[in-house]
Structure 1
Amino acid sequence: MKTKFFNVAGFPSVIGCIDGRHIPIQSPGGDNAELFRNRKGYFSINVQVVCDADLKLINIVSRWPGSTHDSTIFNASFVRAQLEAKELGSGYLLGDSAYPCRPYLMTPVANPATAAEHRYNSSHIKTRNIAERAIGVWKRRFPCLSLGLRTTINTTLSVIVATAILNNLAIIPDDHIDDVDDFGEAEDQAIEENPNALGNAVRNTIIDTYFN
């Protein structure tokens, strides 16, 4: 899978791309209804997905109301705990600027100042675009995800996950899977003063090593 991602735009050791998507719903009613109203003004479930290079949705979190920020969903997710514990091996998820930069989650450089940083951002964007494509394929295959779901909340959450599973079953996988050498891991230590500091250090090492 790392090879497939690398072949897109030369970004090393990517194990998945992460993104959030709002699935429209009808107002659930009750005292907590406004929690489901997102920043664009409509009611939704904010769904977090991780996709692989074959456009499969390999991880999905479907339980947060639309007003919840993407970073909050990620910080509370099981996949984040797995990455923190190194249970998924070495490598990185790619996410947009809505996510925190971590040693296992690479985000774009906010204000690129060097040619290497511009090349890093270009490669990051092209590779992360796979998540946009994966979600687009999923929503086109199941138009209810774009038009909106009018079922109860519990049923809605189940429908979202079920369509993700059916979407994966409809994708024909590539039988040939190679691997590449793992990129050297960054120093394993916590930097409490700045939670992004270790992630930024890893990102800078990638920029210097691969994009300089």
Structure 2
Amino acid sequence: MQALQAIAAIENVENPTRRRRQKVYQKRFDPFSLPDIEFKRRYRFSKDTARFIINLVRQDLQLDSRGCGTSPELQVLTAIRCWGRREVQEDGGDLHGLSQPTVSRICARVARAIARHSATYIKMPQTLIEQQTVIREFQEIRNFPSVLGCIDCTHIKIKKYGGDAAQYYINRKGFYSMNVQVTCDAKLRIRDIVARWRGSTHDSRIFNESTLKERFERGDFKGRLLGDSGYRLERYLFTPILRPQNAREENYNRAQIATRNCVERCFGVWKQRFQSLLYGVTVHMHNVKPTIVALAVLHNIAIDQQDPVPENDGNVHIVQEDDSAAHSNEAGRGRMGNSAFLRAFIDQHFS
């Protein structure tokens, strides 16, 4: 062994110009070379929308100073494929020539880069003109006046959570989840999102401790929200009447439910585009919230770009959970205080 080392040392002295072999980077496949239909099937967006998203976060995903690594284009498309196609990270990595740990880091990095733009793409109507536009769009559905948003919660499945707090992540259906509150408009655009509560938390508690409720109580908005019977009846949040007594109340219920259906449709479109929301977000817990918020931003970008969900996803069956019955007793304690206000509203608009 010593003799071999001595020979190698002599060869290095005799050949001072001998250099270390340079690392060769494998040329990766360009997804934009795919036909438009195949590209959208794989990456959930059209090429134009994908380029818009890439340019939005390009500065946060730049290559290092040596010029090596994964390009912003491939980072974004790899993350979107993992989120949208219900693919495990190993499969997504194999398709793009990346290792599973690299794909995991890319998904976390891209999610945080997109989530930083949430204040731009997820916001309630600000000006009076914006609020009037949203109210008019809702009224066109079933002539329900003064609706600024529809609110509900949906459970996003997560990996099994360990430790003493694990039991709090188990929802009433028995799986680990985050209970995510969403408020949307008539165009199914997500206007507000709360993605920090564990699966066992009641919908009404999430709203009661939200900034959105504080803003409505301060009078920041001229309209009101529509929610299911899991929420407490407020002057700014109307819920269905559990036992209607006359035709006016039945008319109110029909209009309320038909208008509130926007948030159920919003969940359906959101989860159909990103099937990881339907089948489970398998990232580490500290990356769950940025991922959910990032997917909400991407959902709104798709609406802005008029980029519909791929048509060949009809085999995806989405069953939206209904927690209103489970939470109605908790929310019902506050119904009586505002029932007179609701009756006056019904008499005025649903006679």
**Same fold by TM (over 0.5)?**
yes
Do residues 105 (structure 1) and 237 (structure 2) align? yes
Aligned residue type for 2:216:
L
2:288 to 122, 147, 156: 156
Residue number in structure 1 paired with 2:300: 168
Residue number in structure 2 paired with 1:130: 262
The higher-RCO structure (CA 8 Å, 6+ apart) is: 1
Aligned residue type for 1:205:
A
1:4-19 maps to which residues of 2 (within 5 A)?
A: 4-19=137-152
Q: Deviations over 1:55-101 (max 9, x none)?
A: 100000000000000000000000000001111x2211000000000
1:1-212 maps to which residues of 2 (within 5 A)?
A: 1-87=134-220, 89-172=221-304, 195-212=334-351
More strand as a share of residues = 1
More helix as a share of residues = 2
Question: What SS is found at the alignment partner of 2:281?
Answer: coil
Aligned-residue offset at 1:134: 0.8
**What CA distance in whole angstroms lies between the structure 2 residues aligned with 1:26 and 1:199?**
41
In structure 2, list runs of 5 or more residues that go unmatched.
Answer: 1-133, 307-332
Q: Percent identity?
A: 45
CA contact (8 A) 1:106 1:199 kept: no
Structure whose alpha-carbon radius of gyration is higher? 2
Aligned-residue offset at 1:152: 1.6
Aligned-residue offset at 1:201: 2.5
Q: Deviations over 1:153-211 (max 9, x none)?
A: 2201110000000100000379xxxxxxxxxxxxxxxxxxx743443233212210011
CA contact (8 A) 1:93 1:105 kept: yes
Question: What SS is found at the alignment partner of 1:15?
Answer: strand
Aligned residue type for 2:172:
R
**What CA distance in whole angstroms lies between the structure 1 residues aligned with 2:161 and 2:269?**
27
Aligned residue type for 1:113:
Q
Aligned-residue offset at 1:26: 1.0
Question: What SS is found at the alignment partner of 2:235?
Answer: coil
Change in Cα spacing, 1:25 to 1:49, as seen in structure 2 (3 Å) is: same
**What CA distance in whole angstroms lies between the structure 2 residues aligned with 1:162 and 1:198?**
38
Question: What SS is found at the alignment partner of 1:23?
Answer: strand
**Structure 1 length-normalised TM:** 0.87
Select between 196-205 and 20-29 the one with higher mean Cα deviation: 196-205
Aligned-residue offset at 1:27: 1.1
**What CA distance in whole angstroms lies between the structure 2 residues aligned with 1:101 and 1:61?**
20
Aligned-residue offset at 1:10: 1.0
Question: What SS is found at the alignment partner of 2:304?
Answer: coil
**What CA distance in whole angstroms lies between the structure 1 residues aligned with 2:334 and 2:219?**
17
Aligned-pair RMSD on alpha carbons? 1.4
CA contact (8 A) 1:26 1:148 kept: yes
**Structure 2 length-normalised TM:** 0.53
Residue number in structure 2 paired with 1:184: none
Aligned residue type for 1:208:
D
